Structure 1
Amino acid sequence: MLDAQIVNQKLESFATLQNSELFTKLETSEKGLIQAEAETRIKIYGRNVIKDRPKLHALIQFISNFKNPLVIILLVVSTISFVTGETVNGSLVAGMVLMSVTFNFWQEYKANTETDKLKAGIASISSVIRGGSRVEISTSELCLGDILVFNAGDLVPGECRILSSKDLYINQSALTGESFPAEKHATPIKIGDSEIAKMTNILFQGTSVISGTALAVVLKTGTKTEFGKIAESLAQNDSENEFTKGIGNFSMLTMKVVIFFVLFIFFVNALLKQNIIEALMFSVAVAVGLTPEFLPMIMSVTMAKGSMMMSKKGVIVKKLSAIPTFGSMDILCTDKTGTLTQDKIRLVKYIDTRGEYSEKVFSFSYLNSYFQTGISNPMDQAVIDFKKVDVSSYSKIDEIPFDFNRKRMSVIVGDNTNSHYLITKGAPEEVLGCCKLSPTEDHPGLLDKYLELSNEGYRVLAVATKILPNTKKVYEAEDEYDLELIGYIAFLDPPKEDALDAINKLEEMGIEIKIITGDNELVAKRICKEVGVNIKGVLLGHELRGLTHEELLHKVENLTIFARFSPDDKNRVIKAIKENKHVVGYMGDGINDSPSLKSADVGISVSNSVDVAKESADIVLTRKSLHLLADGVVEGRKTYANTMKYIMMGLSSNFGNMFSVLGAVIFLPFLPMLPIQILLNNFLYDISQITIPTDNVDSEYIKKPRRWNMKFIRNFMFVFGPISSLYDYVSYFALYTLFSSQPGNFQTGWFLESLATQTLVIHVIRTRKIPFIQSRPSKFLLLSTLTGVSIGWLIPHTKLGAFFGFSPLQPQVLLLIAGIVLTYLITVELAKQLFFRRFKEQLNYN
């Protein structure tokens, strides 16, 4: 019976074994398992399937949007309103909640209607040997110990150990980030080579065969594979991003302040006026007036507007709250392959032994690539695609195919002079060993040039030639001697054409770039140099695994490149950067990027990414232009700015109103405003602010990342709230002096003053510049605020005024109130300038 613990053994324990030891350990053979044994193993260890997150019904998704703390507060207020008979009040608040929740649900539901992408990366049919016969079966029916047959184009359906292979190249860039195909063979590796990139005899699920053939035994299936582990991590609950955390903290602050003041006002009013019902109704109306019930809708509309703007530019926003978080992002971590680079190997250098460009080197390289018929690889294709060479005067005589022992291949061609040319191309160490002079003894500079190119991050091949007599038609590897080294050809997965400009733009916007890749550090350094990323430091995967958590938190701030990283390594770095109080974006396109896309504050994928990466991302770039990243950041900062305008405006007026109402309840012999008047005031005020999402944002504001800072918000509240209260008390004094025995006139006057001050103050608070002169609002915001105030000021002079308990006021009283409003706005402007000078160090946080 197969050892039950074998499924939990590490891959390196299998990678070190000989084939006979593998067969013994897995209780299988080259003939494969018999069908009955396979069925038994499937029952014990499970089918080869990935368990991803269950899909929620649309109704459940809709209901989950009510978990927002601010939404819960508003629902409580709405419920109390209905219970106390204030149906208009309750309906208004409930309607705002429903509208904002519907906005969020619909936008995110549309962005997540794609079918299950996780399983798309796995082959559906595999060729397996069962009972000595080769059969085709569903990949879900594979089990531990099955023998698989691989050919070019096959996808790997589970973790496998190679038993035998011929010219095998694997594309595992989606898992490791390597740009170049990985050479694979059956030779056991040394103990300790646990990095994916170094496990040369292991095939990983989700990778694909570029060329060659192989026979392999299945070691792990389903969730035990690297792909399966990633899928399981993606099935965990989403973490909060920067914006949702900020909203949650603001909601808690609002709830505490509102509860305290409303209860205090209720008890004081009930005690002094001896009318509990009136005190309760007034307190509920005050609660509605103090609660920013339009904030969820303002956020939803603002983010939906940003989403629509981004979609026109080719960006799909899957999670609305990711838009403002995008704007708060101050560190962008990215894999390089397919994101910064083109994910296509290109020839970039062809030089002679002196390091100078040589057409001779290119011509012979072209002949070698053109006439070879062995393993198809991207480097040969890159040579052929670079430019065309006329080969009509040459004919192929023979070729000596590539093999993994020689690590080179040769083509023998003849020309019209009847000479034969043996052209060898391959790994520089191997080719140099076949040349006339030993580079380490006679020409050390030849090897230095290769090392120099390698250290610059290029994949380098040496090119050597030899003129032969035309007496032979068949050549062997033994003929590869006394060659003349003519030069080197160098390859690179080059950066995308717009990467340099996009990276520069992001850095100008205050976003630091960090590269996290499974590829080697030399290639990563080269790409950073190409795209203009300043390298502060480099950390390798094996070095990371030797660091404690505290050491990593300190070290990560001064690093730019993280190379040879596994998916777990990447995730650990992302979490460490977040723990250091940064807002982290992660951009990636491979299977290995999926956990990091999920852990980051905002996950960004690209058009050519694997489906599981798109599934994990919050934002998907549908075009390859990296400038979309910068455009997305701008939209994110605009969204954040307009959301903060509503919050700051509400803080300056609502917090002040709390003190104003408290004072009025204590000192006035009547209510400062009737409950129905408070509701009308609140309704007109909120409706006038619904156009905030359309407002212009100052260019200076979007130059730096902006983040939530509750200290800044409290400071703002404690400065501008009392200013609002001060002018309310000025209005109280003036109106009480005029109408001490006329409550209706007093209430009308304070209604007009309160509506005008809290509505028009948005024009002062929306910018740090001088309003209307240095910064102009959108025409929609200007129109809505003026309309809201005008309607409110006209109602007392219409028949509708009597319904709300208003009394018409004389022109001189209206002029007095207008003067108070104007003076208030000027005072707020002066206070604003002083405030931002005083709290300059906190400006990046709002």
Structure 2
Amino acid sequence: MEASINLARENKKLKLKDFLVQFKASTKGLSEEEARARLAEYGFNILEKKKWRFEKPRLFLSKFKNPLIILLLGGTLISAFLGEIIDASLIFLVIILSFVLDFYQTSKSSQAVEKLKSRVTITAAVLREGQKREVKVSEIVPGDIIFLSAGDIIPADAYVVSAKDLFVNEAVLTGESLPVVKESEEMFLDLSLPKEDSEMSLLFGGTTVVSGFGTALVTATGLKTTYGKIIENLTDIEPETEFDRGVKQLGGLIFKTVIFLVTFVFFINSLLNHGVLNSFLFALALAVGMVPELLPMIITIALARGAVRMAGKKVIVKNLPSIQNLGNIDIFCTDKTGTLTEDKIKLEKYLDISGKENKKVLKYAYLNSFFQTGLHSPLSEAILVHKDEVSIGGYQKIDEVPFDFSRKFLSVVVEKNQRKDLISLGAPEAIFNLSVSYDLNGRIKPLTSQKKEELKGIFKELSANGFRVLAAAYKEIKSRQKTFVKKDETKLIFLGLTAFLDPPKATAKTALKNLEKNGIQFKILTGDNEWVSEYIARWAEIPQTKVLLGEQIEKMSDARLRRVVNDVGIFARVTPEQKERIILALKRNKHVVGYLGDGINDALAMHAADVGISVDNAVDVAKETADIVLLEKDLEVLIDGVAEGRRTFGNVMKYLMMGTSSNFGNMFSVAGASLVLPFLPMLPLQILLNNFLYEFSQISLPADNVDAELVKKPKKWDIKFVKYFMIVFGPISSIFDFLIFFLLLTLFKANVSLFQTGWFLESLFTQTLIVFAIRTIKTPFWHSRPSKYLVTGVAFVLVLSLIIVFTPLKNLFGFSSLPAFYFLILGFLIAAYFFLVEFVKKKFYQRFNL
């Protein structure tokens, strides 16, 4: 049963019953047994490429893509062919050990992250055995009948069975941002129509329901969908963050410098008759040692560890690189609901036009909420709690005009005792404008301008006291029509106002103060009116309460919006498109912006933000768009996530500063040694061993402690800072390298092997121990303690290096035993190196105002 939407295109007219026969389905849905059988036949409904049988070996072999490694291995084979079998074998072993370490740590981290992602699930409503059920999207199969409403991501390719004002955003496939209407076309697909009409009954997986509702028959899942086929042909390229671009730019600079110096070293050593092959291997080993090969692994470990720690604080990371941006956020935007309020909405008042409580207002609001099948809101749910106070027996639903964000209300048409009423419930201003009369205790009177102003006064007073308000109106339908559209929502009879209270969250004030302490501005972006927003802002003591309305934004150019956006604390009555404009304006002003949303109206803003954040109970499109999902809608949870993001960023920066400065210093040292020494300052094998041990000591950096000061404010990626750090601190290490060169040649009268051993230990000890100074702005150990993992890792590497030098293993690597006096000198050099680095560090950070 290889079925898909494309089969429909083979016929000019294909009725629903033909689809049902083709997919062996029924309008009652599949049985659970049949669904399980189809899941086994077609596989899970996921958009992942099939993994190669030997996926892990392939990933391991991908580590050999580095051209320097290929050249080094080639040279090693030549060396083995010429008789240097032991040296060649050891070089190969060190390279393989480095790759195994990289592969193991990266795979382990990736598995941990995938496990975390599985905690965020998206479900869909399907018809199984005649009953509506929620199932995981991954378990949907061809032949399923699915239910769709605003905010849903269409889970698979499907054919429309029924639809009511069903509009779908297909931008993910077509690039066209305007929603497309979808209808059943009286249950057939007419291919004689133009393409845009012929596809009116086709739904495509991955697209989003903007408004309306409907049902559809699933025709293709997973990689068999239209979107899936596109995904299958795409390369696995992750979008670059600002951090990624900075690392790549810095890596390019290091690589060019390395190539220049390595070429220089190769020619100098060749001219000094050190042997072309040995000089070639030495130069390549030097290049491998100087390029921070394990940087991707360190970043992956740091991010994965951060993601695991954040999960423990109820923050699930879907997009791993977003942790870097989360720590850099300096502006956080969200609606007030659930962040500043409890998100426990209660219907407190139902008032008629005189401002008195009226049960008819409650009844009509209840009818609207009970019969609507589109986008349910917390306000509707709050109304439905009052089921014991109303009687709706005998009412039947005729039709519905779904909610959309331009009208800001929805209507249902109900019938009882042969009387049909259209009942509308939504934004007060919209209902006011469409009402021509009002109902007070059963008496219908004209709604004059004066009465409208009185109504607006009641609405404003309620809002100013923290109430969210919906207006109810109705009209009797005299005609026999069975279907209704937006144009029928005219000449309404105003009935009354419903007022809801969402209490301010007790922890909101503290959370906002903590945001401010962490260097993050808070801004409210809401579709609600300015009065209720100002009430919440006053209660929460938000210092920046300048208000900008959606209608004002509509008249502004992007340039004008950029000029005013920083000074505004509340953006009220804004549309989804205006939210997106606000976020983009803030980003153009060089801010790193986080946006928390849970509704379909938040998707555009979340996508535009540097970090899109959602909650576990959000609509599908919000959770799918989000980089990060909060298991609890609480600002304190978010603050924990930001702090963890900053710790992760800080530890990655430590490795970058360590790697770039030590490698830059080694370049100078080797270049200088090549000019004055009649032999290689270190054998290729010794360089690779030195590099392996150094990198091994740094693996625990992602688990290092981070100074509290670095967590309290956002840190942006600054390539100039890293460059200056490299240029300043790199040559300092070269000073002590040159000093040990001098002492080994003059004081110790070292032969080739002793010289190479002496520099090997000095180089390894200084560049591994100096991490304790570079990892913090403060005085190491006294004012900033490293983690036990870092201390243990460094100690292990240093002890291992001594074991290699003072046991028979030294013969394998060409080392010689060093006199005890050497270690006394080495101790003085390390102490002097530390003091000089500390002195320069203070001056350096003062220069950068840190």
TM-score > 0.5 by shorter chain: yes
Q: Deviations over 1:677-706 (max 9, x none)?
A: 222222222222222122111111100011
Partner of 1:141: 159
Q: Per-residue deviation at 1:141?
A: 3.1
Give yes or no for the alignment of 1:689 onto 2:698: yes
Q: Per-residue deviation at 1:140?
A: 3.7
Residue type of the alignment partner of 2:700: T
Partner of 2:518: 509
- Cα distance, 1:638–1:439 mapped onto 2, change above 3 Å: same
Partner of 1:95: 100
- Cα distance, 1:705–1:58 mapped onto 2, change above 3 Å: farther
Match of 1:55 among 48, 73, 91: 48
Residue type of the alignment partner of 1:692: L
Please give the alpha-carbon distance, in whole angstroms, between the structure 2 residues aligned to 1:427 and 1:381.
25
Q: Per-residue deviation at 1:569?
A: 4.0
SS in 2 for 1:259: helix
Q: Per-residue deviation at 1:661?
A: 0.6
Q: Per-residue deviation at 1:787?
A: 2.5
Q: Deviations over 1:644-688 (max 9, x none)?
A: 111111223211111011000011122222222222222222222
CA contact (8 A) 1:369 1:381 kept: no
SS in 1 for 2:246: helix
Q: Per-residue deviation at 1:264?
A: 2.2
SS in 1 for 2:834: helix
Match of 1:750 among 759, 763, 770: 759
Q: Per-residue deviation at 1:504?
A: 2.9
CA contact (8 A) 2:364 2:423 kept: no
CA contact (8 A) 1:439 1:447 kept: no
Residue type of the alignment partner of 2:67: V
* 1:415-814 equivalent positions in 2, closer than 5 A: 430=438, 448-454=457-463, 458-460=467-469, 490-535=499-544, 537-541=546-550, 543-740=552-749, 742-814=751-823
SS in 2 for 1:586: strand
Please give the alpha-carbon distance, in whole angstroms, between the structure 2 residues aligned to 1:602 and 1:827.
40
SS in 2 for 1:585: strand
Partner of 2:252: 252
CA contact (8 A) 2:126 2:146 kept: no
Residue type of the alignment partner of 2:697: S
Please give the alpha-carbon distance, in whole angstroms, between the structure 2 residues aligned to 1:733 and 1:825.
20
Partner of 2:824: 815
* 1:52-451 equivalent positions in 2, closer than 5 A: 54-59=47-52, 75-85=66-76, 86-103=91-108, 105-112=110-117, 117=122, 140-142=158-160, 157-158=166-167, 222=203, 227=208, 239-273=239-273, 275-337=275-337, 341=341, 343-347=343-347, 369=362, 374-376=367-369, 382=382, 430=438, 448-451=457-460
Residue type of the alignment partner of 1:628: V
Partner of 1:163: none
SS in 1 for 2:629: strand
Please give the TM-score of this superposition, normalised by the length of structure 1: 0.68
Partner of 1:29: none
- Cα distance, 1:757–1:630 mapped onto 2, change above 3 Å: same
Q: Per-residue deviation at 1:584?
A: 2.3
Query: Taking every aligned residue pair, what percent have the same amino acid on both sides?
Result: 40
Please give the TM-score of this superposition, normalised by the length of structure 2: 0.68
CA contact (8 A) 1:158 1:219 kept: no
CA contact (8 A) 2:344 2:502 kept: yes
CA contact (8 A) 2:615 2:631 kept: yes
Please give the alpha-carbon distance, in whole angstroms, between the structure 2 residues aligned to 1:684 and 1:406.
72
* Structure 2, unpaired ranges of 5+: 1-10, 20-44, 77-90, 133-143, 149-155, 170-176, 184-198, 212-225, 371-377, 390-415, 427-433, 473-492
SS in 1 for 2:831: helix
Residue type of the alignment partner of 1:280: F
Residue type of the alignment partner of 1:625: D
Aligned Cα RMSD in Å?
A: 5.2
- Cα distance, 1:667–1:117 mapped onto 2, change above 3 Å: same
- Cα distance, 1:459–1:306 mapped onto 2, change above 3 Å: closer
CA contact (8 A) 2:167 2:209 kept: no
Please give the alpha-carbon distance, in whole angstroms, between the structure 2 residues aligned to 1:806 and 1:276.
22
Residue type of the alignment partner of 1:638: R
Residue type of the alignment partner of 2:253: L
Please give the alpha-carbon distance, in whole angstroms, between the structure 2 residues aligned to 1:257 and 1:73.
22
Residue type of the alignment partner of 1:295: L
SS in 2 for 1:333: strand
CA contact (8 A) 1:334 1:588 kept: yes
- Cα distance, 1:578–1:299 mapped onto 2, change above 3 Å: same
Please give the alpha-carbon distance, in whole angstroms, between the structure 1 residues aligned to 2:642 and 2:436.
45
- Cα distance, 1:239–1:429 mapped onto 2, change above 3 Å: farther
- Cα distance, 1:407–1:563 mapped onto 2, change above 3 Å: closer
Q: Per-residue deviation at 1:561?
A: 3.7
SS in 1 for 2:522: strand
CA contact (8 A) 2:616 2:631 kept: yes
- Cα distance, 1:101–1:692 mapped onto 2, change above 3 Å: closer
Please give the alpha-carbon distance, in whole angstroms, between the structure 2 residues aligned to 1:555 and 1:770.
43
Residue type of the alignment partner of 1:312: G
Residue type of the alignment partner of 1:830: F
Please give the alpha-carbon distance, in whole angstroms, between the structure 2 residues aligned to 1:456 and 1:776.
51
Please give the alpha-carbon distance, in whole angstroms, between the structure 1 residues aligned to 2:549 and 2:59.
44
Number of aligned residue pairs: 682
* Structure 1, unpaired ranges of 5+: 1-34, 44-51, 129-137, 151-155, 161-193, 197-201, 206-217, 356-360, 390-397, 409-425, 464-480
Partner of 2:35: none
Please give the alpha-carbon distance, in whole angstroms, between the structure 2 residues aligned to 1:60 and 1:331.
45
- Cα distance, 1:407–1:575 mapped onto 2, change above 3 Å: closer
Please give the alpha-carbon distance, in whole angstroms, between the structure 2 residues aligned to 1:101 and 1:338.
37
- Cα distance, 1:727–1:100 mapped onto 2, change above 3 Å: same
* 1:2-21 equivalent positions in 2, closer than 5 A: none
Q: Per-residue deviation at 1:251?
A: 2.4
Residue type of the alignment partner of 2:96: S
Q: Per-residue deviation at 1:445?
A: 8.4
Q: Deviations over 1:47-87 (max 9, x none)?
A: xxxxx9953334599799989xxx98972332222111142
Please give the alpha-carbon distance, in whole angstroms, between the structure 2 residues aligned to 1:232 and 1:519.
36
Please give the alpha-carbon distance, in whole angstroms, between the structure 2 residues aligned to 1:507 and 1:707.
17
Please give the alpha-carbon distance, in whole angstroms, between the structure 2 residues aligned to 1:406 and 1:249.
58
Q: Per-residue deviation at 1:501?
A: 3.2
Residue type of the alignment partner of 2:716: R
Q: Per-residue deviation at 1:195?
A: 12
Residue type of the alignment partner of 1:57: K
Partner of 1:133: none
Q: Deviations over 1:714-753 (max 9, x none)?
A: 1101110111111111111111112445122222221121
Partner of 1:188: none
- Cα distance, 1:805–1:61 mapped onto 2, change above 3 Å: closer
Please give the alpha-carbon distance, in whole angstroms, between the structure 1 residues aligned to 2:798 and 2:631.
44
